[in-house]
Chain A
Amino acid sequence: MDVRSQVSMVFHLDKCIGCHTCSVACKNIWTDRKGAEYMWWNNVETKPGTGYPTKWEDQTIYRGGWQKENGKVTLKGAGKRRGLTNIFYNPNLPVIDDYYEPFTYKYLDLIEAPEGDDQPTARPVSLITGEPIDIKMGPNWDDDLSGTPDFARNDPNFQNLSAAEQEVMFQLEKMAFFYLPRICNHCLNPACVASCPSGAIYKRGEDGVVLINQEVCRAWRMCVTACPYKKSYYNWHTGKSEKCILCFPRLEAGLAPACMHSCVGRIRYLGVLLYDASKIEDVVHDDEKNLINRHMDIILDPFDEKVIRAAKMNGVADSTIHAAQNSPVYKYVKEWKLALPLHAEFRTLPMLFYVPPLLPVMATLKQVDNTEQADKMNPIAKYWDDNWLYDTSTAELWGTLDQVRFPLKYLANMLSAGNEDMIKDKWKKLMAVRIHRRRVTVGDISNEKADEVLRDAGLTAEQADGVFYLTALAKFEDRFVIPPAHREQAIEMMDFTGDAKGEIGFGIKSKVKRGL
């Protein structure tokens, strides 16, 4: 057992309102620079939709991630032979038009334009060329318009969905959609690290953050191709690739990453997971249908004494183990088994997990007679003449699951490598928590019925209360359990600190000029 710690994340998609506050916070801190204008280390996508860059999930176009051939797992777009033949021209790179051409407006024209017959306008100009442009696209162009022919209908996750099933989704277009916020997954088997010819990318030992060393990067851009999530970006100004750094300077100071800190929907959770690194290779080589279950098996129980002992042998600090025991991510992923990795079939073992969205699925619209209720109301009160019921209740417990308006297959393609039962299992749990809480707070559901639901979903009443607490009431300290940095110990694992005496900071090679 080779126990290591990883700062891991859970995004609760039911809670995301698609406000892009996370993206803006990230942009303001990290990518508001020349050459990085088009980058969104954090971006929010509307689903169904093609995402950013367009169709990033379609690896027949971008050839990212790993593939299993003859029992061997290799990089799809890189590797020795492919790398050598394409070393000077990387043929599957996304181009700027696949992302979007970044733009701003000439706001100064509004106040400085000479007097004339027309209202002055702020023309859009490209942030790359500085010339006026026609804005063709943005990082989430389709934002609240799911179902458009350009983007939603080209969603790669529609594979294996029948034409009729797809049509159902688009009949309800403009209603049935959800948001998918994405950052770097800080994978356990990162394709970007494997693809880099310069060895500039590494996974930090103490917390598993994947970083690109800007002093070693030689602009091969193999990581841009190799990352199936397209979360490595090439800075055309500095000539180096960049990616999400999980705000490690903030993490080391005990602060949550900017995107998580600023999230108004409070959908993001961050905590430590302990995992068994010796099993990674074995798991990566497993069949696609076993991938997620095996992935979950790697994550170890931080309360298990054997695990704790092995962790200490590996130099994992007590405080980190303690943080792992309180980790909200561990609860969501392992204890309640509510969260799933995005596109596990890419075989990178992503360490960012998503709680699948329930809301667009479970409710049905029903015509009811509300006159009796309306009569009871004071005439002064606003008269309620809406006879439609947004109904989430059902007589036979899981009835709505079978008549969902959002095909299960769609979410399964995204979050469980095509396994519908896995999504159904998560939905049952989410539904059971709601039914349980309805029994507690409203009391119109019988105890037998609620208990049956919980049993069916595989949750205890305490667990359901826990899910409810962490989903709806969690405070800052509950959502972000950040271990102390232990930066010094982490450095000592790699180097003798005496070598670095008189130097400063992280990753700075040149010595500081001292006064005198």
Chain B
Amino acid sequence: MRNKIYKLITAGLSLVLLINFANAQSAGETTFKSTCTACHTVGMGKLIGPDLANVDQRKPEAWLIKFIKSSQSVIKSGDKYADSLFKAFNQVMMPDQALTDAQIKEVLDYIKTKSPAATTASTSTTSETATEEAPSISSTGDAARGKDLFVGNIRFSNNGPTCNSCHNVDMEGVISGGALAKDLTQAHSRLGEEGVKGVMAGLPFPQMKTSYETKPLLEQEIADIVAFLKDADKQASAKSTTGVGSTMLIGGIVGVVVLLILFSIFWIKRKNRTVNYSIYERQIKST
């Protein structure tokens, strides 16, 4: 009996190991595709984050592992390169990745294999190829439908949670959303069309991932929401250009002065000091 069980277990284990070994080559690739592609490309130009081609030549592996695990702690530690990256990419925070060192190494290995020769990678060509290849989703979104989806008037077909339960967009006619996650009013200009799409398709943020992993958004839905966010961004930027700035303050001060003058005219007959004023003024004071 016992032998039979042992045999079964060893057979099962060896089978699992075999499968693992068979997939070992593609482990880095799967991790990269599931967690990184929303924001990054290899040799196809910038998305939300930088192009990762030849990233191993820019920084040592130990630094990369630290950065991938917690980008913000590296930035806060005063690393100048990390800080400049953060600023160069619209201060969009790279979410912390719950990956082991081994997994990260696999990903880095995968990037290395995919990277073209560092010298040949010119940014102009890569960005061109990026725009050519990256949009895998049709960009003909319907902004009105996007708005309905965002607010929750229409349900996502896979029953994903409504956007505005966590996100807010400042736009006329749109009900205020939650404050649990990033305000998306200017998401379009911050991340670019590809970036916004990438976030919704690739789900790089852990909370987004748990919310939508089993209930993914359809391509058309993503396109609609992108169109809606584009509109919202346009409106918001149009509004911000009419900012009043210091005129509000000056107007306020002038208004107060005018009101005070009006009041003092209106109540000019009021009794504004004691009847005994002149007497008290003449009296000798001890202090």
Chain A residues within 8 Å of B, Cβ to Cβ = 50, 53-55, 61-62, 85-86, 89, 91-95, 97-98, 134, 136-137, 150
Q: Are A98 and B283 in contact (CB under 8 A)?
A: no
Of B275, B280, B287, the contact of A136 (CB 8 Å cutoff): B280
> A94 CA to B276 CA in the complex, in Å?
11
Is B246 positioned at the interface, with any CB of A under 8 Å from its CB? no
What 0/1 readout, one digit per residue, does chain B (259-287) give for beta carbons within 8 Å of chain A? 00000001101110011110110011111
Q: Are A137 and B276 in contact (CB under 8 A)?
A: yes
Q: How many CB-defined contacts (below 8 Å) exist between A and B?
A: 41
CB distance from B168 to the nearest CB of A (A): 40
CB distance from A100 to the nearest CB of B (A): 8
Chain B residues within 8 Å of A, Cβ to Cβ = 266-267, 269-271, 274-277, 279-280, 283-287
Given the known interface contacts A134-B285, A134-B286, the answer about A92 and B280 at a Cβ–Cβ threshold of 8 Å is no
Contacts of A150 in B (CB 8 A): 279
Contacts of B284 in A (CB 8 A): 134
Of B271, B274, B277, B287, the contact of A91 (CB 8 Å cutoff): B271
When A and B form their complex, which 4 residue pairs have the shortest distance between CB atoms, in order from nearest? A91-B270, A97-B274, A54-B275, A150-B279
Of A53, A54, A92, A134, the contact of B270 (CB 8 Å cutoff): A92
Name the residue of chain B whose CB is nearest to the CB of A96.
B274
Contacts of A54 in B (CB 8 A): 274-276
CB distance from B274 to the nearest CB of A (A): 4
Given the known interface contacts A134-B285, A134-B286, A136-B283, the answer about A97 and B271 at a Cβ–Cβ threshold of 8 Å is no
Given the known interface contacts A92-B270, A134-B286, the answer about A61 and B275 at a Cβ–Cβ threshold of 8 Å is yes
21 cross-chain CB contacts under 8 A: A50-B275, A54-B276, A55-B275, A86-B267, A89-B267, A91-B267, A91-B269, A91-B271, A92-B271, A94-B275, A95-B274, A97-B276, A97-B280, A98-B274, A98-B275, A134-B284, A134-B285, A134-B286, A136-B276, A136-B280, A137-B280
Of A62, A134, A137, the contact of B271 (CB 8 Å cutoff): A62
Contacts of B277 in A (CB 8 A): 97
With contacts A53-B275, A93-B271, A98-B274 known, what are 16 further pairs, Cβ within 8 A? A50-B275, A54-B274, A55-B275, A61-B275, A62-B271, A86-B267, A91-B267, A91-B269, A91-B270, A94-B275, A97-B276, A97-B280, A134-B284, A134-B287, A136-B283, A137-B276
> A54 CA to B277 CA in the complex, in Å?
11
Interface centre among B266, B269, B271, B280 (most CB of A within 10 A): B271
Interface centre among B266, B270, B275, B280 (most CB of A within 10 A): B275
CB distance from A82 to the nearest CB of B (A): 11
Given the known interface contacts A134-B285, A134-B286, the answer about A61 and B279 at a Cβ–Cβ threshold of 8 Å is no
Contacts of B280 in A (CB 8 A): 97, 136-137
Given the known interface contacts A91-B267, A91-B269, the answer about A134 and B283 at a Cβ–Cβ threshold of 8 Å is yes
Name the residue of chain B whose CB is nearest to the CB of A90.
B270
Contacts of B283 in A (CB 8 A): 134, 136
Name the residue of chain B whose CB is nearest to the CB of A97.
B274
Contacts of B285 in A (CB 8 A): 134
CB distance from B259 to the nearest CB of A (A): 14
> A94 CA to B270 CA in the complex, in Å?
11
